[in-house]
A and B are shown apart, each in its own frame.
Chain A
Amino acid sequence: MAIEALITVLAFFGIAVVPILLIIIAGLVGGQIMKSMQNKLTEREQEIIQKYGKDTLSSLSMTAKREVSETGIVMASLVVGPNYWQQFVSKIQSLFGGTLNYYDQVIALGRNEAMQRLREAADTAGWDEVVNVRLETSKLTPMVSNKESNKAMELFAYGTGIRYS
């Protein structure tokens, strides 16, 4: 009897209490993590703009009509996921339809971060500019397909780095 009672208590704890606890923790900590990511990103974007005087990325196939001495591909990517709190709220929102604000924010932040990484990769490789920039989004499948496991998406940016002679 005592063992059965213990199992019942543990099962209740596992099913009900732990997920709620995790959602609450995510709600408290997650916002802070996103805010610090956003702040760092803004700082780094400013650095690049100050160094080159403009945004170095362009989605056109060629920008200025200047002599090009060297070219090469540049890639950058990252995987982001919404936290448990954001997933929980989005799940409720998706019952009613409309905008899923948290997914909006996470994807937008991730994409901006991927583009900033592309700028930095180009900066490290010594390219003056990146043309023909393309952006891609893909979803990562969970390990166990029928389980609601990690919600993660990859944001990928690539382009052609060019160096003016």
Chain B
Amino acid sequence: MNAGGIIVVNTETVPGKTITETLGVVTGSTVRAKNVFKDIGAGLKNVVGGELRAYTELLGESRDEALQRMVAEAQARGGNAVVNVRFATSAVTAGAAELFAYGTAVKLE
């Protein structure tokens, strides 16, 4: 994903490019709760097993948002790439999850 011209990678360097300056750690996170109705739907699907699509979509969207926030912070710092991106998920409270993305904002030549 090249969000707004910003290169996002989870490798330590951007292959084929040179890093001229590092601008510190940038983070982005969202806390999302499940929808009760979707929870009931997923509960029914849980009887027979398999993929719980409602949750897949929810977490996917949340993670995209976390990444967008991280990218926005990198942009605000004047970086044009984020390297070594990592993701973390933690259960904050019952029925809610925090999706968290962090990386190092850098300037490429």
Interface residues of A (CB under 8 A from B): 22, 25-26, 29-30, 33-34, 37, 61-62, 67-69, 71-75, 77-84, 86, 106, 110, 113, 131-132, 134, 136, 138-145, 149-152, 154, 156, 158-160, 162
A162 adjacent to B15 (CB under 8 Å): yes
Q: A68-B15, A141-B97 are in contact. Are A158 and B10 (CB under 8 A)?
A: yes
**B52 nearest CB neighbor, chain A only:** A79
Query: Closest CB of chain A to B99's CB: distance in Å?
Result: 9
Partner of A138, one of B8, B15, B67, B89: B89
Stretch at the interface among B19-27, B38-46, B72-80: B38-46
Contacts A/B (CB < 8 Å), 26 sampled: A25-B47, A25-B48, A29-B48, A30-B49, A33-B48, A34-B49, A71-B14, A77-B59, A79-B52, A83-B49, A84-B49, A86-B49, A113-B51, A134-B87, A140-B34, A140-B55, A141-B94, A141-B95, A141-B97, A143-B34, A144-B94, A145-B93, A152-B46, A156-B59, A159-B10, A160-B9
Given A22-B47, A79-B56, A156-B89, 6 more pairs with CB closer than 8 A: A25-B47, A68-B15, A68-B16, A73-B85, A80-B49, A80-B51
**B39 nearest CB neighbor, chain A only:** A143
Residue picked from B39, B53, B67, most chain A C-beta under 10 Å: B39
Number of contacting residues on B, CB 8 A?
Answer: 42
Partner of A72, one of B1, B34, B56, B90: B1
Q: How many contacting A-B pairs (Cβ < 8 A)?
A: 142
Which 6 A/B pairs are nearest by Cβ-Cβ distance?
A83-B49, A145-B94, A79-B55, A68-B15, A138-B89, A68-B16
Docked Cα-Cα span, A8 to B50, in Å, equals 35
A71 adjacent to B49 (CB under 8 Å): no
Docked Cα-Cα span, A84 to B45, in Å, equals 10
Contacts of A152 in B (CB 8 A): 42, 46, 52, 55
B49 adjacent to A82 (CB under 8 Å): yes
B34 adjacent to A136 (CB under 8 Å): no
A151 adjacent to B55 (CB under 8 Å): no
Q: A30-B48, A78-B56 are in contact. Are A150 and B43 (CB under 8 A)?
A: yes
Contacts of B12 in A (CB 8 A): 61
